[in-house]
Amino acid sequence: MKKATLINSEVSYVIAKLGHFDAITICDAGLPVPNNIQRIDLAVSKGIPSFMDTLKAVSSEMEIESIELANELPNISPQLHTELTTFIDALAAERKKEITVTYVTHEEYKGNTQKSVAIIRTGEFTPYANITLKSGVVF
Q: Greatest CA span in the chain, whole angstroms?
A: 42
Are 85 and 137 contacting, i.e. CB atoms less than 8 angstroms apart?
no
The reply, when asked if residue 36 is annotated as ligand binding, is no
Cβ contact 88:26 at 8 Å: no
Q: Is 28 annotated as a binding residue?
A: yes
Catalytic residue list contains 81: no
Catalytic residue among 9, 13, 20, 48: 20
Q: Flag whether 106 is marked binding.
A: yes
Query: Could you give the angle at the alpha carbon of 8 between the alpha carbons of 55 and 97, nearest 5°?
Result: 40
Contact 64, 135 (CB under 8 A): yes
Q: Is 109 among the annotated ligand-binding positions?
A: no
52 secondary structure, DSSP code: H
Q: Strands of the chain (E only): list them.
A: 23-27, 38-41, 64-70, 100-104, 118-121, 131-135
81 is in an annotated binding site: no
Going by the annotation, the residues of the binding site for substrate are 28, 106, 128-130
Question: Residues forming the annotated binding site?
Answer: 28, 106, 128-130
Report the catalytic residues: 20
